[in-house]
C-alpha cells in the first residue's frame, strides 16, 4: 500500500506568515492528491483536489502543487482561522492519509 508522509508534524507560525506543508508518497500517485483542514472536534474539510484544484469557497490564499511523489500545500498569508491540522490524502490506489501537520500559533 502507498504510504504518505507529511512534514513537518507541527509548524509554529504568526498571522501573515507564508506557510508550506510537504506531503511525500512512497510511490507515484500522479496528481491523485487531496488536502484537508481539520479543526478540533470537527470533521475534515476538503480544500484541494487533484493536487492543485481549489474547492469552491476555499480562500485563494490556499494553493497546492506537485505531482508524482512530492506535493506541497501553501498558505500565502496565514490567517487566524487557518490554525488547524492539515492532512494530505492519496487516491491513486485505494486511499491513504498522511499523519497530519498541526499549524499552531507561534
Q: Which is nearer to another protein, 1 or 80 (CB)?
A: 1
What mask, x for binding another protein by CB under 8 A, covers residues 1 to 40?
x--------------------------------x-x-x--
Contacts of 31 (CB under 8 A, 6+ apart): 50, 51, 52, 67
Q: Are strands 45-49 and 53-54 parallel, antiparallel or unpaired?
A: antiparallel
**C-alpha to C-alpha distances, 78 to 5, 81, 94, nearest whole angstrom:** 23, 8, 32
State in angstroms the smallest separation of the CB of 83 from another protein.
Answer: 17
Interacting stretch for another protein, rule CB under 8 A, among 13-21, 23-31, 66-74, 83-91? Answer: 83-91
100 binds another protein (CB under 8 A): yes
Residue whose entry in the numeric block shows the C-alpha cell 508550506: 20
* Site residues (vs another protein, CB under 8 A): 1, 34, 36, 38, 42-46, 49, 55, 87, 89, 91, 93-100
Amino acid at each position: 500500500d502507498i504510504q504518505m508522509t507529511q512534514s513537518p508534524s507541527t509548524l509554529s507560525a504568526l498571522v501573515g506568515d507564508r506557510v508550506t506543508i510537504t506531503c511525500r508518497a512512497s510511490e507515484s500517485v500522479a496528481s491523485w492528491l487531496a488536502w484537508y483542514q481539520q479543526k478540533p472536534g470537527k470533521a475534515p474539510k476538503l480544500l484541494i483536489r487533484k493536487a492543485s484544484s481549489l474547492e469552491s469557497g476555499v480562500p485563494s490564499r490556499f494553493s497546492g502543487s506537485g505531482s508524482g511523489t512530492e506535493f506541497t500545500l501553501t498558505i500565502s498569508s496565514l490567517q487566524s482561522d487557518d490554525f488547524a491540522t492539515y492532512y494530505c490524502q492519496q487516491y491513486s490506489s485505494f486511499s491513504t492519509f498522511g499523519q497530519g501537520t498541526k499549524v499552531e500559533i507561534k
